[in-house]
Structure 1
Amino acid sequence: MAGSTHRTKVDGLWVFQLAIPADCREELARRFPEEYRGQKVIRRSLGTGNAREAEVKVREHLDKWRSRIDAIRGPRNPEKLTPLQLAAVEELRSLGYHISLDSEPDHEGAVPAPPAESARTFRELERGFAERRYAYAHGKMVEKLAAAGLDLDPDVALEGERQRIAARLDAVERAASVVAGDVAVNRPSAFATMDTLFERWKREARPTVSSIQECEFSVRRWREMHGSVAVDRITKPMVRAFRDAMLSFPTRLSNGEAALPLQTILDKYQDKDVPRASIASARKRLSFIKTLLSTAVDTGLIPESPAEGVRIKDDGAKPGQERRAFTVAELKIITDRLADQDESFRWVTLLGIYTGCRLGELVQLEAADARVEDGVTFIDINAAGGKSIKTGSSIRRVPLHPDIRNAFLAFVEGKKGRLFPDIRPGTNGDITDLISKRFNYWRKRVGLTGQGLCFHSLRHSFKDRCREAGIAEEVHDALTGHAGGGVGRRYGGRPPLKVLAEAVAKLQFPNELLQEHVEVNRSKSKTS
């Protein structure tokens, strides 16, 4: 499979590796002298020990180098595969099985197996993998249920996982059978399902780890509701049914309940007065299904998306679920109670108040991102070193407010690498997962239990401070990394750094509280 073939772990970090065909080495070295110098195998550190993050980066490298090799070699089809078989080859690649279309030996002298032989081998491999995956999941579920004291059949609890494994096996078997010529298929959409669209989207869109996990949730629940249906058999009523299910989906499920199939969950909580998914959550889950169906349209699998026109209207039926800003009084509570927290938690929270940066941007900051240019102290939000950013407009420079500027520089002084190395990813690989949960737990403990409050509310509060100070929308959009849509923003780029610094200096915070707290931070930084 692609993940294991093209990555290896060295000193705790994943490394990408790819054998370069002999007939392409000279031309690749000529075209890309800074990246390639004629070696048989290229290796690149992926800068992460997390397998999920590494998988995303491996696909990025594979796409880049394979497209370069294809550009040198031109179209290849020595086995004279039909267009449908070539489409199935591509589908297998999206599922992690690479079928070579070369007939020449590789750098080790090995001759690639014919596509039909490779397809049959992969089909048998996947059958074995499917059995082992379910056996492993079954053992883990037995342990989990016993630890939780739940009297539940593990096979029932694993129905969703069983369907996921079965859907993937079905997709591999169908595509492999087409390549091998074992079945007659007259349309490429016959072996494309929501699961295979998900794999293609991961490879082509190169989404963040958190986006992959969120989309995976939608695909899992879709499969539990509609099965492994071929993409050209998906109808608008099916999409509407999924939308309604996401709106009815209960929150605060136990781990055992969350593992149950979708319909079992909906039946269990039908007509019960329990919290349901927010409009925003349901809309996001539907949006991933719409994105995957758009991918099917873009690749010619279906003429139009059955999700077109299926929407979730925010009709105010669930008031209080929207995120809101912290009030000045609530900010006072936050800053009053921060002093007894550890340094990373204090500074991430203070930077959220004073910069309006996203939590994911702050926890990835490195010491080198605290910079001074033309007398302006700022933090540099960038994608260097494998950092994950939300959009292109997220890359920006955010000047520091005078209230915290000196104390922050004192905190950064002498540090190297990540500013907050003790903030680690959760089990889902998301670097914001644990710190976000900790912030929510802490703010409730200090009495901030209102609806719609979370770390992101600090970003809304920053926006409020900008509006109160009369800062132009163009400027505070540049500070917070919003794209904006004004005509003026399409000419001349973003406001200069000094303009941003002057705007930040105008912002009014509850200084009698925050300044006092910053002094506490500064003294703790010097003594720690």
Structure 2
Amino acid sequence: MSNIVRRGAVYYFRRRVPAKIQAILGQKVIRESLGERDPKIARRKAAERALFWEREFAKAEAQLSAKSPQPQTRAELSEAEIAAILAGYRRHLLWSDEQIRLRGLGGQDNGLPDHQYDLLTEVLQDIEQFAADGIARGRALSPANRDTMDAYLGARGLRLDPSSRAYERVAIGFLHTRAECIQLWKDRHAGKIVETPSEPENPTSSVAASPNGISYEPLTLESLINGWKNERKPVPKTVDTFTQKLRKFEKYLNGRDLGSATPEDASKWKAKRLEEGNSPKSVLNDIHALKALFGWALENHKIAVNPFAKVRLLIKKKNTKKKRSYTDEEVKLILLTARSKKGGARWIPWIEATMGVRVNEAAQINRDDVKMIRNIACIEITDLFDDDDDEEEENIDGEDKSVKTESSRRTVPIPEFLIAEGFMKFVAGKKPGEPLFPDMKPDTYGHRGGTASKRVCRIVRVNLGIKDKRVSPNHSFRHWYKDLCRNSGINEEVHDALTGHAGKSEGRKYGDGFVVETLAPTVARLNWGRLNLG
């Protein structure tokens, strides 16, 4: 044999260590005295040592290939996960036996020579007796079985709590699986055909089985995000946000397939996020995002259960006062201060105050959006936004609210009060297709609203020193404009059309809405005398 040598009267076991793990074991060749003079007994002991060192090499290779910290200890496993682990271990045992028969006990032969075949016969008998004794005496938690199980699971990114019921069940399963495979090994030894299963060896990436017996393909981050994105059509920012949240959860699963996630995983992840110091609102947004993603997967038969379906997080609302409208005096001061500014800082506060538009809507206006429609100067709000403070809760379906707010897309007459301020002359100085406010730099997603919001906030908080937290520097303009409409005797349905608010009644959903000829006289009735700008 290639792994047994004789020195003097005593036989020694000899095995070369694979080059890639020599540094871990600290030696290039294993040399051990078998303490035997009888060649038959020496060969039998050498075969046992060969199997022992094959396991040690496997452990060292697993340690070498580990690229992440120790896997998170789990205390519970689903029935499907336990079945997948044992199926993977069964394949591993059959594959190992297959390799021994292909390459010999020393790993360098072509098949099993006669003397190795005889030795393997004796070894199988000993192992069979050992396994039967382990089952009969209930030794699933013996050190030998635990070491084998821990090494196998650890190499696959899974660690179980030794005190848990899941650990006991897997340990018993290992003992039974090994006994079953010994019989299959013996069948092979007798010349019968026993196939090695072709499923992936890693139990955490194998096909997940649902309680009703249906099998599902592995669910990757990319397949989940792309499938949800192609169907739901969210805006790019929402895609990026949801992807980041899903990536955090995937990292928590520590290499497990997303399709294997359980409600317990979701609940523990929620608790972990809170323990890490994340705000309840942030964690709630995480839950909403993942509930939407896994909900899509469930609807499309990618998984058996949505792990976040019943995860809840109650947030105690702060006892804060409601956002308030600007006073007439505050609006007057802001508009007068804006007169001394340039670009977006000059005109966006005026557009917000006199037309009730959102800051995002004002910031993105293009030269071509300002037009004459049947001799009425108008602005077409073409992009959809809904950044109202009272509507800022994240949509749990994973869709940007702007997509749902069709009323945001509208054509609004420009009030004479804004025209008299010189707005149309400012617009005339822009080229066709040019943004009105190029100084409002767009963000990664092409939106100028973030920069515009900061500029207006600077006027309100810094220049004028308005520190009242109930004031929202941009949104309070919409509150003020709605009051202006009410106090000018304008019908609610009409000023909802001007501001882009969706009506609550079913009837509001019918038809195309008001034409500019109807809205223009209404805009002309607005009482600007309240500001008294001179």
TM value normalised by structure 2: 0.49
Q: Which has the larger radius of gyration?
A: 2
